[in-house]
Amino acid sequence: MDDYVTGTVRQLLCRAKHLTERVPSPPSPALAPLLASCHKKITQITADLQWLLNEPALLLPANQPARFRALRRCVGELDLVETQGIAALERSHDDDLHLNRLLARICAEVNYPLPTPVVSTLSQAYFRIIPGLNLLCVPLSEARFLLHLPDLFHEIAHPLLIPPPTGATFAFQQATAHALLTALDYLGNEARDQGRGRGPEKMTFMLGAWTQSWRSWAVELMCDLFAALTVGPAFAWAHLHLSAKRGHDPFEVPRLVPTSHPPDAARMEAVLRALALIGFQADAGQVQDRWQQFLTAAGFRAEPEYRRCFPSALLEKVCQAAIQGVTAGNCRMAGPTTCDAVFVLLNDAWRAFWRAPDSYDAWELQAVESLRQAA
């Protein structure tokens, strides 16, 4: 199969060259960082492909599996650049430019310590960020609505957790590591108790799944808490909105296979605890009431395994770690007197929704138009 790999590598090199030339200049200055990221990534991939083509040791029979793995990795990375980065540049829309201006305002409001990600409305799922391209993808119509936009604050927290730590990210990464170690210490004690015969055998497997899951859960919870601490109650409302529309059982915990995201109930509890700690007790109480109404209407309830996985004391410690990380990282913490424009708008949007859900769409249409004109 040497000839196949050689031919495929040459095709990929041609593809990489084509992508480099496809968008010769950014359609807007706001997208220039994405173009630079794409070109940098393509340069790295091209170097890897040249290595696959020219390294004699890779032709040895014993190294064929490694050569195939490296080839597939290059394919995946080039696909990502093409389908996300280059596509976002080539198919940019006025909505993309609006959201990029909005995110720049958000990053300025919260004193975000890293370069502002580029926003694209090409997501085929929900909000997500691609750290390698510093590209934040949202659904196609998101620029025309407000209620989910607090999730932008969650997504911009992810780059803060990319190792290795720098002067700008050390505090938040250290806080996340502390939260993870706290969780692992708790689960270690639970596993030791289980080993002494203090519970059903199935719990051994569950504890193992929880322990593995917490390495991802810590990241997601800390990003949730960054959002709650910087945009306030609007993020809790957005989380309820997302859970009610798209979520699964909010109390479900893994039994055998680890999961990447903690259950929605744990995320909500952590967010509400954090809001109460920074002065939004009344707002947190209102969200809690609506959250309970949702759980009752949907027929969800917590099982004992959920509370064992997420004891209140553990979530409290995670909240304290997040507050320490945001504070030490010199990001702006929200409070009841915060008057930053985007903060006010996103929180006002949820107040307007609950004040008159049947006429909210008219309020939102006007608010979005005012926001676009002001940006």
Q: How many CB atoms lie within 10 A of CB 149?
A: 26
With a pLDDT cut of 70, the percent of the chain lying above it is 98
Do the beta carbons of residue 53 and residue 9 sit within 8 Å? Answer: yes
Per-residue pLDDT of 15-47, as tens digits, reads 999 999 887 676 688 899 999 999 999 999 999
Examine the domain organization and report whether 352 and 333 are in the same domain. Answer: yes
CB contact at 8 A, 121 and 93: yes
Q: Are residues 215 and 299 in the same domain?
A: yes
Which tens digit of pLDDT belongs to each residue from 202-223? 888 999 999 999 999 999 999 9
Reported as a pLDDT band with limits 50, 70 and 90, residue 197 is low
Which residues neighbour 282 within 8 Å (Cβ) at sequence distance 6 or greater?
A: none
- Rg, C-alpha atoms of the chain: 23
**Measured CA distances, 111 to 29, 107, 131, 136, 200 (Å):** 21, 6, 19, 18, 49
Q: What is the pLDDT of residue 224?
A: 98
Query: From the CB of residue 193, how many other CB atoms can be counted at a distance below 10 Å?
Result: 13
Structural domain harbouring 349? 159-374
Between 322 and 24, name the one with better pLDDT.
Answer: 322
| 136 strand-pairing partners | 119, 129
pLDDT of residue 159: 98
103 residue type, one letter? L
Distance of CA 73 to the CA centre of its chain: 23
**Residue 80 shares a structural domain with residue 100:** no
pLDDT at position 54 over 70: yes
pLDDT band per the 50, 70, 90 thresholds, residue 375:
low
Residues 120-160: tens digit of each pLDDT: 999 988 999 999 999 999 999 999 999 999 999 999 999 99
Domain count, the chain: 3
Nearest Cα to Cα of residue 34 among 131, 123, 153, 138? 131
Same domain, 71 and 108: no
118 and 43 in a common domain = no
Same domain, 198 and 66: no
* Statement to judge: residues 244 and 336 lie in one domain: yes
Q: Is 245 helix (H, G, I), strand (E, B) or coil?
A: helix
Distance CA 111, CA 175 (A): 18
1 has pLDDT over 80: no
Residues 6+ apart with CB under 8 A from 215: 180
* Distance, CA of 347 to CA of 370 (rounded, Å): 16
